[in-house]
Amino acid sequence: MELIDVVEEELKAKWPRLADHLERENFTVGAAFSPLFITLYIYQIEHQHAMRIFEFFILDGEDSLLRILYRLIDLKADKICELQEMALMSYLRTDLINECISEYGMVYLLDY
């Protein structure tokens, strides 16, 4: 839950429009992003990519998960703000990371 608090503060500071959109859609930051932290993104992506994330998590801990999430948000904040209800939930939980991997590659998402 501490990670969720950190993400919520970061959203409000760096992406206020996105934070406002999630609030208007009745999404808490926890509901939107905690599944990604709980699963380390592993269930949403191909095995090879999941292993890369897991390696970074072993090396850098929670910071690696936050870096990935912030990169995803930075890349797709405008699109997230266009979505509503179930489409928004589906996008945040599965499509967001897969779309970013497809468009930018895993190395870009993991890059510091």
Taking only the tens place, the pLDDT of each residue in 44-58 is 789 999 999 999 999
Count of structural domains within the chain: 1
Q: Range of 47's domain?
A: 2-110
Q: Global pTM?
A: 0.89
Q: What helix, strand, coil percent values describe the chain, rounded to 5?
A: 85, 0, 15
Mean residue pLDDT of the chain comes to 91
**How does pLDDT run across 97-111, given as a tens digit for each residue?**
999 999 999 999 888
How many Cβ atoms from other residues are within 10 Å of residue 90's Cβ?
12
Residue 27: CATH number of its domain:
1.10.472.80
The helix or strand, by DSSP H or E, that contains position 109, with its residue range, turns out to be helix 106-110
Is residue 112 predicted with pLDDT exceeding 70?
A: no
